[in-house]
Amino acid sequence: MAYKDSLPNFICEQTTERSVDLGGTGQWKHKDKFTELLKYVDHEESRTMLGTNANGSKSDTGAEIDNGTVSAGSSAL
């Protein structure tokens, strides 16, 4: 908690790339990539979707992320 309370206000762009291994064989394949605007202001985190790129096709702002796990924060915070 002390670490979280010591963080300054900031804004950054975060890009997350996801891969899948459907067979559990260690052969990971790219699934998609999405970009968010991450804001941390007065000890509160918020995220805004900027766009996605799934299987080589780009989507505009506000696109939904299908399936998979999406974190609402980092375990370090």
pTM: 0.60
Distances (CA, A) of 29 to 15, 24, 58: 17, 11, 18
- Across the beta sheet with 10-20, the strand order is 10-20, 29-41, 44-54, 57-59
27-45, pLDDT tens digit by residue? 999 999 999 999 999 999 9
Residues ≥6 apart with Cβ < 8 Å to 34:
15, 16, 49, 51, 52, 53, 63, 65
Q: Is residue 74 scored above 60 in pLDDT?
A: no
Closest C-alpha among 77, 75, 76, 74 to residue 14 = 74
